Chains A and B, each alone.
Chain A
């Protein structure tokens, strides 16, 4: 089995509140793995500890307890950051730079130069459909365009892992769809994607596995199929079924020639429904 892209083990992050001896536990003994090549979604309400977890993985914060590793390297190790491309929520880049200049700046920070950098910039501008706005300053970009140039900068050094914090926040449906398609394309190209989002439908569309985090703790984790199945319901997909066959389904399937069970499993709820259920349970626990 290949090395996990992200390995978070018993991560705890505690913040002290000013000079008072009061503490807030933002992340509480959190453990999860993002496998190489998959799209992993971490979902949770505001203040659940998603961004803190991301910042620890990015090396922007240190863990109070536990560890975070990126491809086997400690997240504080600078080599780990060469493997990561990061798109923060509402990215604000230097507005005085144009799209192409922004990519050049981040490319140079990653040690790229010359023709290789120039080609990569062209390639990424094409990927995010911003070739026409390459020389326009970012101050003139729309929210969707900023998000797309942000995604391009996250890919500049061709990292193995892309971390996206609310990639479609504040973007209109069309822009949102474009970003969703880009994430699907990244997956096809072998990138590992680790994203946080509130847009559950989108998470359901693009993620291979999902973790649900509440109050800094992992409540549920698994593949979408695992998460959204309902244990006391069963569904069948029958080929060439007649109404009679449906009425006596199991016996008929066994006795009738030409009829076969193609898929049998649990019925699905939506990820959104599951999310709300967990949220309500969490509130009940608190009260």
Chain B
């Protein structure tokens, strides 16, 4: 430090101000994937995958039930329960995980630091949704692997037991034995079951998109979860609502209009139930799968746009 103070009016030497930073792209896929990857890490480190243990327990328990039925029926029953549970876990997880993300970021002020970086709000929403969908996809693959293992082991067991028993009785021809075994195989592990998993993913994706829309204006995670579940249940009643309120001539124009508006606003989750037929061994119509994929993409775009509409001018 200098012994002599500065003369009046003389200021200390100033450093050179820093130069301008680099340009910011209009949209960055990198920023979306960064937020998505962070969301996956967040959900994984929140130990959300522990629910897979509960799922595995359900599948193992169902697989070991002693159901008094033919092997084919028994396999059908195992698949029905396992895939039904998988579906419930997927949409429930989609609601709970999504409902926690944005309100938590707002509450913890993490959102301030993210949005004060060169991040567009659509990138943030896409990243959050992408992260949740990735975790749902990973969970479904894991649950499908658990199911496949159980179905395959039961199918192998039934096939060898049936073959041995029919062969030992010496009453059946080789053709009859093969016919019986093919009936069991039809209810066993088939590649088409993957389409049923995809259907569950489609449904959970739409549920997540609806939940993310609700969380952009909801005051709490609890509110988002409750309303999302409510909308999910209403979304399963489209057909019933149509036949009860729209097809009945006695209802007022107001009620009919209200039902029509609700039908437009709330996704029809019944459409995604085509997976039940696949699980039961029905043939897969590829056009239907494409159609459902398109419908899912449509719902995602619509709900993301609605979310953005609320979120873009939201003040924090």
Report the bound CA distance from A78 to B119 in whole Å: 7
Residues in B whose Cβ lies below 8 Å from that of A55: 315-316
- A191: Cβ under 8 A from any B Cβ: yes
Smallest CB separation, A274 vs chain B (Å): 21
Instruction: Flag if A93 contacts B5 (CB, 8 Å).
Output: no
Contact present for A190 and B16 (CB under 8 Å): yes
With A105-B34, A105-B38 as contacts: A96 and B46 at CB distance below 8 Å: yes
- Chain B interface main SS type: loop
Tell me whether B175 is interfacial, beta carbon within 8 Å. Answer: no
| Contact of A90 with B18 at beta-carbon distance under 8 Å, contacts A60-B116, A111-B28 already known | no
Q: Which residues of A contact B30 (CB under 8 A)?
A: 108, 111, 113
Segment among B19-27, B182-190, B231-239, B240-248 that sits at the interface with chain A? B19-27
Contacts of B23 in A (CB 8 A): 79
Kindly supply a per-residue 1/0 record for chain A positions 79-111, scoring 1 wherever the CB is within 8 Å of any chain B CB and 0 otherwise: 101111010101111101100010001101111
Also in contact, A88 and B42, with CB within 8 A (given A83-B21, A190-B17): no
A143 interface residue per 8 A CB criterion = no
**Whose C-beta in chain A lies nearest to the C-beta of B23?**
A79
Q: In A243-287, which residues have CB < 8 Å from any B CB?
A: 262-265
Chain B residues lying within 8 Å of A264, measured Cβ to Cβ, are 8
Given contacts A111-B22, A190-B18, contact A84 B42 (CB under 8 A): no
With contact pairs A190-B18, A264-B8, A265-B8 given, residues A93 and B113 touching in the complex (Cβ less than 8 Å): yes
- The number of chain A residues with a CB under 8 A from chain B is 53
Partner pick for A37 among B8, B16, B115, CB 8 A cutoff: B16
Q: Does B118 contact A (CB under 8 A)?
A: yes
* Stretch touching chain A among B104-112, B130-138, B147-155, B163-171: B104-112
On chain B, the number of residues with a Cβ less than 8 Å from chain A's Cβ atoms is 41
Q: Is the CB of B34 within 8 A of A108?
A: yes
CA distance A158 to B117 in the complex (A): 12
* Most chain A CB inside 10 Å of its own CB: which residue of B7, B17, B119: B17
A53 interfacial contact with B, CB 8 Å: no
User: How does the 8 Å CB contact mask read for B2-42 relative to A, with 1 for contact and 0 for none?
Assistant: 00110110000011111111111100101100110010011
Report the nearest B residue to A192, measured CB to CB.
B17
Contact B20 A160 (CB under 8 A): yes
Q: Closest A residue to B21 by CB, please name it.
A: A82
A148 to chain B, nearest CB (A): 14
**In the assembled complex, which residues on chain B have CB atoms less than 8 Å from the CB atom of A5?**
17
Which residues of B lie under 8 Å from residue A82 when comparing CB positions?
21-22, 24, 117-118
A83 to B38, CA, bound (A): 23
CB under 8 Å from chain B, chain A span 43-86 = 55, 58-62, 71, 78-79, 81-84, 86
Question: Distance in Å from the Cβ of A167 to the closest Cβ of chain B?
Answer: 14
Q: Is A237 an interface residue (CB 8 A)?
A: yes
Residues from chain A with a CB closer than 8 A to the CB of B24 are 78-79, 81-82, 111
CB of B114 closer than 8 Å to a CB of A: yes
A36 at the interface (CB under 8 A from B): yes
- The answer to whether A157 and B34 have CB atoms under 8 Å apart is no
A110 touches B15 (CB 8 A): no
Q: Mark B301-316, 1 if CB is under 8 A from A, else 0.
A: 0000000000001011
**Contacting pair A108 B31 (CB below 8 A):** yes
- Per the bound structure, the CA–CA distance linking A81 and B119 in Å amounts to 8
Cβ-defined contact, B22 with A190, below 8 A: no
Closest approach, in angstroms, between the C-beta of A177 and any C-beta of chain B? 19
Chain B residues, CB < 8 A from A106: 113, 117
Central interface residue in B18, B119, B313, by most chain A CB within 10 Å: B18
CB-based contact B109/A110 at 8 Å: no
Report A's interface with B, CB cutoff 8 A.
Answer: 2, 5, 36-37, 55, 58-62, 71, 78-79, 81-84, 86, 88, 90-94, 96-97, 101, 105-106, 108-111, 113, 150, 153-154, 157-160, 163, 187-192, 237, 262-265
A/B interface sample: 9 pairs, CB < 8 A: A55-B315, A58-B116, A60-B316, A62-B313, A79-B24, A88-B109, A88-B113, A163-B116, A192-B18
